[in-house]
Amino acid sequence: EVEMEEKLQNYTKHLENVVKQRTHALKESEALYRSIFETSLAIIYIHQDNRFILMNTTGMTFFGYKSQEEMERADVWQTVPEGERQQRRKNALRGMAGEKIPQSYESLVINKEGETRVVACNFQHITYKNEPAILAILFDMTEKKYLEAEISHAEKLKLMGYLATGVAHDFNNIL
């Protein structure tokens, strides 16, 4: 009986060590993911039942929310331009129902100040606190789009300059 009790104590100590190691590993993993979430340049948020549940610092700044409470009170669909709201809601409902929907695309969003921005979006259906939710990862593409338009405009002007030079040269040759 003493031998059995000793084995039981040894096994209990072993289990306690395993639990301690796994708890430590879980805390490390949680700290790592929290750090990635908070330091990412991407806008990351979770929304559920038309409300933001969780949002990183980049997202809070991008959308213009000053506090967690303000963000949690905000209606997710107010960040979507009116012309896109109905389709985006349908996609969200279909995705949460398990249907295949576009997960990555470019779109427009509106921040709290009413400024429209271009974003590259990636949406994923997840379960958060035992309820269906959507994980969103967005990248602000507004400046990139603006610069692309500027470059395109400059290239067009350059081509028009070449064309005008050629026409002027041909016209001069005729004279």
The share of the chain scoring above pLDDT 70, in percent, equals 89
pLDDT at residue 142, as a whole number: 86
Whether the pTM exceeds 0.75: the reply is no
- Which two structure tokens, joined as six digits, stand for 82? 């009116």
Q: pLDDT tens digits, residue range 2-52?
A: 888 899 999 999 999 999 999 999 999 999 988 888 889 999 999 998 899
Kind and range of the H or E element at 134?
strand 131-140
Interatomic CA distance for residues 97 and 82, integer angstroms: 23
Q: Which residues of 95-109 are buried (b: 16+ CB within 10 A; e: fewer)?
A: bbeeeeeeeeeebeb
pLDDT of residue 168 exceeding 80: no
Helix (H, G, I), strand (E, B) or coil at 44: strand
